[in-house]
Structure 1
Amino acid sequence: MLGYANAAFDMLKRSEIPPYPPFYELLYTYATGINPSLNNRINAIFRSGIPPSADLAETLYNEFLKSDLNERMSSVSARMHARISAVNEAIDGAMVTASAYSGALQAASDDLEEDLEPQAMRTLSLRLLAETHRMQETNRQLEVKLEASREDIAALQRDLDDVRRESMLDPLTKIANRKSFDEGLADAIDDARRSGEPLCLILLDIDLFKSFNDTYGHQTGDQVLRLVAMTLKSNIKGKDLAARYGGEEFVAILPSTDLRGALIVAENVRKAIQAKELLKRSTNERLGRISASFGVAQYRPAEAAATLIERADRCLYAAKHAGRNRVVAESELVEIEEVPAKDISMV
């Protein structure tokens, strides 16, 4: 995780690309290798000798990473604006008609203060009746437009909810994405601070995933990512949140769960992942089994989210150093870190 971030920053420093968030996201994605099409394009650019630039980075970002969610959000916003404008026009028209009707009533009141001949009284009555009918028709049209607007706005609200839900999901694994995780962890920490209930974090990384990808291809690797995501999600419950943290790393937020309970959850997930035998769908080739390493940490009062994540990350890499396919909690972190570090470049 830190290696990917450092690689992205190094590429930004070496190039003429400004360190804007979209460009960092672009190079971070390249560093993780989770988007083969993007990596192939960037590798081809490197081989061609084309100097990197902000314009080139923006082109690549728009092609490979920019979601259509922004366009859909803009469309919903435009429709909402048009509907609100229509409602305002209808209300303005009704107010003009109401003002005219009020004026007609005032004029009729003035006329009635005088002695009117029967014919003049009849004319006045007809005029008031016509004004009343016009006011009634205007109100009827306003009601129709408001009802239509109510239905349209309800539909627009559903569209906005759909867009928001999609923006919070990882497009490959269909579980929560990094943005959703960040918000979920912040909310969980706030709840833990208020209630005093425990809160734990599980961070897991698929063992030797890069080697697996290189051997069997990215499409098969994507299937593994989906499998791990669904396995993680199916082994948590309630207010727990499973998310893809980045690349082959996943995370689970466990509110109202202490370290002992979180260790049980992590161990169940580890066993479930290891128990699944992989089969390449296109050839029915048996690919063996995969495993994952886990780090588990419990929230400490008043600490920042980044500190909790860092501790879970240290536990995860301690599990890697200790031989992979195991769960390490912060309670055993010192003991594990004393084991001589192994080469985990292909974690």
Structure 2
Amino acid sequence: MEYTESLERSAEITRMVLPTLSRLGLPVNPINYALFYEYFLGRNPRLKEALEPVVENGGSLSPDRAKELFEEQVVFANTDRVEKIGEEIREMLGKIIQMISDAGGDVSHFSGSLGAYAHSLEHLDEANAAQQLKSLVGQMLTEARQMVESNREFGQKLDATSREIGALRAELADLRLQATLDALTGLGNRKTFDEALARALEQAPGDMATVCLMMVDIDNFKSINDEYGHLIGDKILRFVAETLRRSVKGRDVVARFGGDEFGVVLEETPPQGAYRLAENIRQTIEKSALKRTDTGEPIRNITVSIGVECNRPGDRPDDLIERADQALYESKNKGRNRVTCGFRG
């Protein structure tokens, strides 16, 4: 997002943002401030639709929901820019084609001139041959210089356009990458998760359980946020995310499913292998000893509950997610800090 408002306009929006955050009981942190600044700026229809009931009708907004809206509507609202970059690249390619066409026209013109000169040489007037030759050579030199200059300018334009296209392509690649990542943890986001699971099921043999799904949820995360604050909560989310990332390999995909829940798509993994991996992750997190960076004070014991399920013939992504979620809920209902498998054996 780019902000080009004047100082007066920015101050006016700030005077609307701060009372709103206070009325909703939301902390004045960069995420909440940016979210409501964007809302009062009025240029994002989807954000306006999501927040208008809260702002105008006295609704409520949780910190987690505010963060989700920030990621969806502020951080990743780059689709227009992606389309614009695509248009700019097409324009650049059009310029290159035109420059090549122009250069080809110059070549044709030069070739035609040479033909005319050859014809003139064949029909020299003997009486004035020396003068005519001098004139023809002068014209040919002029044409040659023009051709060299035209090619030089074409090369410079082509180099400049190539550099511009390279910069646009790099920006486009960066935007596409950002659109697949969760801003807080650096893991894949929900879009990445959905695509990875659909692709894995599509490629899986129909009669074998080779795709396993882990749903991982941080136990009592709300109370951790209430006790330590959202900055510590964010630190815990990043710690769990990094533990999951280090635990998988190859084509396996780890993504933030939403809130304090993560999804892990395991390809070419037998059910018992998925269970062992989930148990190793659970134990690693249980044994962690996190501390506050400001005071060195230990943070309460962090644990996770995990549900594991593997694909069955004819599974769609929603089918596998639903069964893995059921296994996760069973882990929570049995006391948390455990792994439950939906499969048998």
Task: Measure how far apart 1:78 and its partner are.
Answer: 6.6
C-alpha RMSD of the superposition: 3.6
8 Å CA contact 2:71, 2:183 repeated in 1: no
Over the matched positions of the two proteins, sequence identity in percent amounts to 36
- Whether 1:110 and 2:151 are equivalent positions in the alignment is no
- Distance between the aligned counterparts of 1:278 and 1:324, measured in 2? 19
Report the counterpart of residue 185 of structure 2 in structure 1. 173
- Whether 1:249 and 2:257 are equivalent positions in the alignment is no
The one-letter amino acid paired with 2:142 is A
- Distance between the aligned counterparts of 2:70 and 2:111, measured in 1? 57
Give the stretch that moved more between structures: 315-324 or 186-195.
186-195
For residues 162-311 of structure 1, the aligned pairs below 5 Å read 162-193=174-205, 198-311=210-323
Report the counterpart of residue 110 of structure 2 in structure 1. 101
TM-score (norm 1): 0.73
8 Å CA contact 2:211, 2:267 repeated in 1: yes
Task: Measure how far apart 1:193 and its partner are.
Answer: 3.9
Report the counterpart of residue 96 of structure 2 in structure 1. 87
Give the stretch that moved more between structures: 226-235 or 299-308.
299-308
- Whether 1:329 and 2:322 are equivalent positions in the alignment is no
The one-letter amino acid paired with 1:101 is F
- Whether 1:37 and 2:32 are equivalent positions in the alignment is yes
2:255 is paired with a residue of what secondary structure?
strand
- Distance between the aligned counterparts of 2:184 and 2:267, measured in 1? 26
Matched residue count: 294
- Distance between the aligned counterparts of 1:109 and 1:318, measured in 2? 93
Task: Go from structure 1 to structure 2 and tell me whether the alpha carbon gap of 1:72 and 1:141 turns closer, same or farther (over 3 Å shift).
Answer: same
8 Å CA contact 2:209, 2:312 repeated in 1: no
8 Å CA contact 1:69, 1:163 repeated in 2: no
- Distance between the aligned counterparts of 1:79 and 1:73, measured in 2? 10
2:216 is paired with a residue of what secondary structure?
strand
- Distance between the aligned counterparts of 1:303 and 1:166, measured in 2? 30
The one-letter amino acid paired with 1:102 is S
Report the counterpart of residue 73 of structure 2 in structure 1. 65
- Distance between the aligned counterparts of 1:178 and 1:193, measured in 2? 25
Report the counterpart of residue 137 of structure 1 in structure 2. 149
8 Å CA contact 2:76, 2:179 repeated in 1: no
- Distance between the aligned counterparts of 1:72 and 1:248, measured in 2? 30
The one-letter amino acid paired with 2:109 is A
- Distance between the aligned counterparts of 2:336 and 2:344, measured in 1? 15
8 Å CA contact 2:209, 2:310 repeated in 1: no
Task: Go from structure 1 to structure 2 and tell me whether the alpha carbon gap of 1:84 and 1:127 turns closer, same or farther (over 3 Å shift).
Answer: same
The one-letter amino acid paired with 1:314 is Q
**1:149-207, CA deviations, whole angstroms, 9 ceiling, x for partnerless residues?**
33333333233222222221110011111111122222222332499681111111111
Choose which of 143, 157, 165 in structure 1 pairs with 2:169: 157
